[in-house]
Amino acid sequence: MLERYLQYLSHVRHLSANTLSSYRRDLESYFSFLSDRNWTEADMDAGRARSFVGHLSRRGLSSRSINRILSALRGYYRFLERIGAQAGNPFASIKSLKADGKLPTFLFEEEIERLLTGEPEDLWQLRDLLILELLYSTGCRVSELASASLKDLDLKNATLRVLGKGHKERLVFIGQSALRCLREYLVRRKALRLTDGEGQRALLVNRRGKRLSVRGIQTIVDRLVIQSRLDKPATPHTFRHSFATHVLQQGADIRVVQELLGHASLSTTQVYTHLDMDRLREVYGAAHPHARAAQEENG
């Protein structure tokens, strides 16, 4: 039944390969839990569903991870109900856990600049730099960048069409620095003798002339972060967080940022409205009348 559900998610809901992989992993973890207790899907009720949540918590999973698994299970049982394979959804009454409240990791502008400096010596170093430039310039997901093709580029208008979650297309914008890097990359890329059809279409290719995978991009970013000796961890998603944080700090409307990120819900975007303490202090000092009076006395 799992395979049938995953086919439904792929062909009807058009979920990405990465999302499908996450669903598979989460549901297989659930089936393992059932097997260990000699339970079947039909044996589950709300009480046993709560025991599964407790099991996840004891394993040390974060609230966010547990909520993701619960969402997958609610959807799975709704599917079973729809096709007549299950009466009732044991997870329907299980509430999501309170969010951890952890803010996303982002890089300061000077840290971004540190990663984007350097003179590439060959095509592959140029490609690696381009990956960082595009992740930061567009705010796109790593899966969206990996699946981007040459036909999705509009150099004249400096845009890239990407395919996001739910098979939804959107345009993202390419900044001047990223555009310069991109133009040089495209010139040098022409020298490659690409024989793989998918590689010929792909925007980013690996050394074998095939489309660069999500894992390949992650590995490249890991390597570049280590080489830069940045004193904090950074993943491809960190560049997306940084993009959103910096655009909001520059005064962009949150709904515009929601559109740029491809978020279905505004609440997802609102996590990026955090500001560093210096910025908060600056806003407070400029806006609060008593703060202004104190500054005038001290000045």
Domain ranges of the chain: 2-82, 115-231
How far apart, in whole angstroms, are the C-alpha atoms of residue 77 and residue 110? 48
- Residue 210, sorted as left (phi over 0), alpha (psi -120 to 50) or beta, turns out to be beta
Query: Is 30 among the residues known to form the active site?
Result: no
Q: Tell me, what's the pLDDT at 18?
A: 81
Give the end-to-end CA distance of the chain in Å, rounded to a whole number: 72
Q: Spot the catalytic one: 76, 127, 185, 240.
A: 240
Domain 115-231 indexed as CATH 3.40.30.10: no
Mean pLDDT of 5-10: 91
Model pLDDT for residues 18-45, shown as the tens digit of each residue: 888 889 999 999 999 999 999 988 888 9
Q: What angle do CA 162, 115, 158 make, to 5 degrees?
A: 35
The pLDDT confidence band at residue 15, using thresholds 50, 70 and 90, is confident
Whether this prediction's pTM lies above 0.75 is answered by no
Provide CB contacts within 8 A for 207, sequence distance 6+. 124
**To the nearest whole percent, how much of the chain has pLDDT over 90?**
51
Q: Which of 190, 186, 145 is nearest to 16 (CA)?
A: 145
Catalytic residue among 68, 210, 237, 274: 237
For every residue of 83-123, DSSP letters joined together read TTS-SS-TTTTPPPPPP--PPPP---HHHHHHHT-S---SH
Contacts of 233 (CB under 8 A, 6+ apart): 105, 225
Q: Which of 15-19, 61-65, 146-150 has the highest mean pLDDT?
A: 146-150
Distance in angstroms (rounded) separating the CA atoms of residues 2 and 28: 9
Is-catalytic flag, 141? yes
Is residue 102 part of the annotated active site? The answer reads: no
pLDDT tops 60 at residue 93: yes
Over residues 228-280, the pLDDT tens digits come to: 888 888 999 999 999 988 888 888 888 888 989 988 888 777 777 654 444 55
More confident residue, 147 or 118: 147
Q: What is the pLDDT of residue 123?
A: 96
pLDDT at 103: 60
**What backbone phi and psi angles, to 5 degrees, belong to 45?**
-135, -175
The Cβ of residue 273 has, within 10 Å, a number of other Cβ atoms equal to 13
User: Is 241 an active-site residue?
Assistant: no
Looking at residues 111-124, what average pLDDT do you find? Answer: 91
Q: Classify 2-82 by CATH class.
A: mainly alpha
User: Is 272 an active-site residue?
Assistant: yes
Confidence of residue 192 (pLDDT cuts 50, 70, 90): very high
